[in-house]
Amino acid sequence: DAKTTQPPSMDCAEGRAANLPCNHSTISGNEYVYWYRQIHSQGPQYIIHGLKNNETNEMASLIITEDRKSSTLILPHATLRDTAVYYCIVRVAQGAQKLVFGQGTRLTINP
Amino acid sequence: DGGITQSPKYLFRKEGQNVTLSCEQNLNHDAMYWYRQDPGQGLRLIYYSQIVNDFQKGDIAEGYSVSREKKESFPLTVTSAQKNPTAFYLCASSIRGDKHYEQYFGPGTRLTVT
């Protein structure tokens, strides 16, 4: 599975959009981008995934660049409850169902 | 309510003792996983199982053992051979197959060995 690079920490004001970047320059054609988040001392929570098209669900939007070497997770109206560590993971959709978690981005939403 | 339960939330053991962490799911998922998390770090895969009576080693299986006798249960034993057992242990489950899926995580067990 391809390696990802994320900034270690970010801050965002409550009510504003939080944009979390992820670089995955070695991504292969059959690898998807997944995002999970982990609120302090809890288990991670799935947010969204995508291959090459932009995706949106009730939690967030995922923007993947045309060359697929980077992506951005967007939380449109961040709340204090969005404070968490966000993990960007790249993996194939089939085969061993292993998620490789890096250190992620610690997002702090400020009032 | 469907979900994954892990018990206990906090566990304390003396060095040299084996300890078994419980993980139960009622989501009817075939696949189950065990991860370990150290402070400030991401998760690392210990073992995973895609079907009853079958499991595979993950990246850091040494010093751990698992069993998968029932679909809903995947207990993890931390043996005395594990050199640094103090950590946050997370269990997860998912559907099995060549499709997109999300892994559902339990609340975790924080193990402290002194």
> Is B2 a residue whose pLDDT tops 70?
no
Please indicate whether, in this complex, the C-beta atoms of B106 and A97 are within 8 angstroms of each other.
no
pLDDT digits (tens, 9 = 90+) for A16-72: 999 999 999 999 888 899 999 999 889 999 999 999 989 999 999 999 999 999 999
B40: phi > 0 → left, psi -120 to 50 → alpha, else beta; which?
left
> Is B95 an interface residue toward A (CB < 8 Å)?
no
A100 contacts in chain B (CB < 8 Å): 42, 45
pLDDT digits (tens, 9 = 90+) for A60-108: 999 999 999 999 999 999 999 999 999 999 987 665 567 888 889 999 9
Residues of chain A numbered 49-68 and touching chain B (CB < 8 Å): 49
B4 contacts in chain A (CB < 8 Å): 43
Instruction: Check whether the bond before B8 is cis (ω within 30° of 0).
Output: yes
pLDDT digits (tens, 9 = 90+) for B22-62: 999 999 999 999 999 998 888 999 999 989 999 999 999 99
C-alpha radius of gyration, chain B, whole number: 13
Please indicate whether, in this complex, the C-beta atoms of A45 and B105 are within 8 angstroms of each other.
yes
